Structure 1
C-alpha cells in the first residue's frame, strides 16, 4: 500500500460516506470506489460494508484504519526529519580527535555549536593523530582534529601550532642529552617523526632510552622523581603542581620545533548540510581565536 491508499482508508473512517470522502480527497466517487476495491483485492480481506447510512468498517477494516493513521503520522515525522536534515539542523556528526583536543580545546567550541544546532548529536572518538587519520580514511568519522602532518589528500584548516619542549627535574645542558636517560612516551608516529628530526639535527648518536611510558602523565611522574627527561609536544600536558623545568626546543638551525594542529575532513563530506554547518562554525571559531 502507498500513501494514497492509507489516506483513503483514514478518510473513509472519518467520513463514512463514499461521496463525501471522495470530495475531501479531491477524487470522483467512482474512482474512490475502484481504488477501495483494489485495496481489498490486494489484501484479500473485506474492509467495509455498505449500509443504507453509508459504510461501516469490518474488524479487519478497523485494524487497517488504526495502522493507516500510524503510518501517516510516521510519514509526516519522517518528512519533518528529512527537512531538518536537509537544512543541517539535525543528525549525527562523528568526530575523531586526540585526547588533548577532547580535554582542553574542543569542549567550549562544541558547546557553542550545540547551542546553535541543538538537534545535532555528536559522536566523539579519541585516539592518537595517526589513528584519527585512518578513521577518516575508512569513513568512520566525518571530521578529525589532529596534531602533526597527517598523510592523505584531505581538506584541512590550520588551527595553530605549539612549540615542543624538553621537560626535566633539574637543569640540563643540550650536550648532555645523549648520555642522559630519556623517558619515551610518544606513541603517535607523527609526533615521533618530529622529535626524531629535532634529535638528529643535533646529534649523531641515538637517544639513551631509559624507560618507556604509555601516557604523558606517567612520563611526568617519572621525570619528577629524577628518572630522566622527556620531550613534550603539547605544553598544556604539563599542568600545575609539579616543580619541573621546561625548555623550548629548536632545530640546529635555530628554528623552533613546532607541531601544527589541524581540522581535517573529506571534500565530499562538505556537501552534507550538517557537516557543512559544523565546518563553517569551527572555521569561525578558528578565525576568532577561540580554538
Structure 2
C-alpha cells in the first residue's frame, strides 16, 4: 500500500462511483478498477460492491475509508511540518472561517500574508460558525475564525466585537417594530437564539416576517430598497448612511454584542507556518480591514 492507494480509497468513498472517482484522480477507469483489485488482494477481502447506480462499501471497505482520511491528513501534516522547518516558510495552512469573515476579512488577510510568505499555500473552508467549530474540533483546520462563543480547550482570542442593530430606511419607534415587515435571513443558530431572546424580552407579539432571504447581504439589499427592516450586525450596514439603525440592548441597557474569535490549538503555535500566521493576525487590526 502506498499513498496513492489511500487516495484511491478516499476518492471512491467520496464519489461512490468508479467513473467519477477515476476523473477525480485523473486516471482511466480500467486502471482504477485494476488497482482496486490489487488493494483487495493485499487485504484479502472485498472492499466495494458494484451496483447499477454506483458502488457500495463493505464493512471492511468502510473501515479502510475511515483510515484513508487519517493517513492523508497525517501525510499532509508531515509535509507541512517539514516545509515549515525551513528558513523560508512554506507548507499548507488550513483555515476555517465564518461566511462573513471569509467574504469581508479573509481575502485581505491572506493577500497581505502571502506578500510576506509567498511559499505558503492555503486551504480555506467557509460556512456557518457552528460548522467551522466542528471542523476545529475534528482537527480538519489549523485556525478557525468563528463568530460567537463555543466551548474550547485550546486557545482563542477575540479579534473584534459587533453590536446587533435593527436596520431600516425609515426612522421608527420600538413600540411599532412588531407591526413592521421583518426581513429574515439564514444564519447560524447562536445568532438566531440571541435575536429571539431579545425579541421575547421586549415584545409580547411575534415579529411580522414578510420576507425570507438566503443570506445577510441579500437582507441588506432588501432593506436599502425599502422592503422592510432587518436585525443584523452593525458591520453589515455601517458603510451605508441611508440606513437608519437602532442598537439592540439587554435588560441592563447594555448593547448586545457578538464577538468574532480566532480559535487554535496551543501546540500549533510551535509549528513555524501556523505560528507566523497567528503572530501576523495578532499584529493587525482585523476590524478595520
Count of aligned pairs: 210
The corresponding residue for 2:178 is 178
Whether the 8 Å contact between 1:202 and 1:251 is mirrored in structure 2 is no
- Name 1:159's counterpart in structure 2: 159
* 3-state DSSP of counterpart to 2:284: helix
- Corresponding residue number in structure 1 for 2:187: 187
Structure 2 match to 1:256: 255
Q: Which has the larger displacement, 156-165 or 97-106?
A: 97-106
8 Å contact kept, 1:101–1:145: yes
**1:83 Cα offset (Å):** 5.5
CA distance in 2, matches of 1:209, 1:114: 44
SS in 2 for 1:164: strand
1:290 Cα deviation (Å)? 6.2
Deviation string 1:194-222 (CA, Å, 9 cap, x unpaired) is: 21232233224332322211112322233
TM-score by length of 2: 0.64
Call closer, same or farther: CA 1:118–1:221 in 2, change over 3 Å. Answer: closer
Q: Residue deviations 1:25-78, cap 9 Å, x none?
A: xxxxxxxxxxxxxxxxxxxxxxxxxxxxxxxxxxxxxxxxxxxxxxxxxxxxxx
Distance in 2, matches of 1:276 and 1:214, equals 36
Unpaired stretches in structure 1, ≥5 consecutive residues: 1-79
| 2:81 and 2:271 in contact (8 A); partners too | no
Match of 1:111 in 2: 111
**Partner residue of 1:196?**
196
> Which residue matches 1:270?
269
Alpha-carbon shift at residue 143 of structure 1 (Å): 0.5
Structure 2: how far apart are the matches of 1:280 and 1:221? 36
In the aligned structure 2, how far is the partner of 1:186 from the partner of 1:81? 36
Partner of 1:101: 101
Measure, in 2, the Cα distance between the counterparts of 1:280 and 1:81. 18
In structure 2, relative to structure 1, the CA distance for the partners of 1:244 and 1:193 (3 Å cut) is same
Q: What TM-score, normalized by structure 1, do the two folds share? A: 0.64
Give how far 1:237 is off: 4.7
Q: 1:147 to 1:221 in 2, by over 3 A?
A: same
State the match for 1:220 in structure 2.
Answer: 220
Dislocated runs of 4+, deviation >6 Å: none
Shift of 1:238: 5.7
Distance 1:249 1:82, change over 3 A: closer
Inter-CA distance 169–229: structure 2 relative to 1 (3 Å threshold): same
Paired residue for 2:144? 144
